[in-house]
Structure 1
Amino acid sequence: MSVLVIGEALVDVVHRTDGSVAEHPGGSPANVALGLGRLGRRVDLLTDLGDDARGTVVRSWLAASGARLLPTAGGRRTSTATARLREDGSAAYDFDLAWAPRGDVDPTTYDVVHTGSIAAVLEPGAGTVRDLLERAGETATITYDPNARPAIMGDRAESARRIEALVALSDVVKVSDEDLDWLYPGADPVTVIEEWRQRGPAVVAVTLGADGVVAAGTAGLVEVAGVPTAVVDTVGAGDTFMAALVDGLLELGLEAVASDRLEQVLARAARAAALNVARPGASPPTATELGPISR
Structure 2
Amino acid sequence: LHVGSIAVVRAPGADDVARLVSRQTPDTTISYDVNVRPSAMGPRHISIARIDEMISRSDVVKLSDADLAWLRPGERHGDAIRWLMSRGPAIVVVTHGSAGATGYTRSGSVRVRGHRVDVAHTAGVGDAFMAGLLHAMSVRSLLARKTARRLRTIGLDDLHSILHHANLCAAQAITSAGIEPPHIDDLAVAS
Q: Which of the five TM-score ranges fits, normalised by the shorter chain?
A: 0.7 to 0.9
Cross-structure match for 1:165 = 53
Query: What number of residue pairs does the alignment pair up?
Result: 181
Cross-structure match for 1:129 = 17
- TM-score, with length taken from structure 1: 0.58
Q: What's the offset of the Cα at 1:264?
A: 0.4
Cross-structure match for 2:171 = 274
Q: CA RMSD in A?
A: 1.9
Q: Secondary structure at the match of 2:30?
A: strand
Measured against aligned partners, the alpha-carbon deviations of 1:134-162 in whole angstroms (never above 9, x if no partner) come to: 11142310000011111111222321111
Cross-structure match for 2:30 = 142
How many angstroms apart in 2 are the aligned matches of 1:193 and 1:258?
18
Q: What's the offset of the Cα at 1:184?
A: 2.5
- Decide which moves more: 230-239 or 175-184: 175-184
Change (3 A) 1:145 1:209: same
- Select the structure that is richer in strand: 1
Cross-structure match for 2:121 = 233
- TM-score, with length taken from structure 2: 0.87
How many angstroms apart in 1 are the aligned matches of 2:188 and 2:99?
22
Task: Give unpaired runs (5+ residues) of structure 1.
Answer: 1-112
Match of 1:289 among 182, 186, 190: 186
How many angstroms apart in 2 are the aligned matches of 1:281 and 1:149?
22
Note if contact 2:98-2:114 (Cα within 8 Å) is conserved in structure 1.
yes
Rg larger for: 1
Cross-structure match for 2:155 = 259
Change (3 A) 1:132 1:201: same
Match of 1:211 among 96, 99, 117: 99
Is 1:183 matched up with 2:79?
no
How many angstroms apart in 2 are the aligned matches of 1:253 and 1:195?
28
Change (3 A) 1:174 1:137: farther
How many angstroms apart in 1 are the aligned matches of 2:62 and 2:85?
11
Note if contact 2:112-2:160 (Cα within 8 Å) is conserved in structure 1.
yes
After TM superposition, the runs of 4+ consecutive aligned structure 1 residues lying more than 6 A away are: none
Change (3 A) 1:195 1:291: farther
Identity of aligned residues (%): 40
Measured against aligned partners, the alpha-carbon deviations of 1:152-188 in whole angstroms (never above 9, x if no partner) come to: 1122232111101100000001001121222223333
Note if contact 1:190-1:214 (Cα within 8 Å) is conserved in structure 2.
no
Cross-structure match for 1:248 = 136
How many angstroms apart in 1 are the aligned matches of 2:53 and 2:22?
11
Measured against aligned partners, the alpha-carbon deviations of 1:176-205 in whole angstroms (never above 9, x if no partner) come to: 112122222333344323321121110001
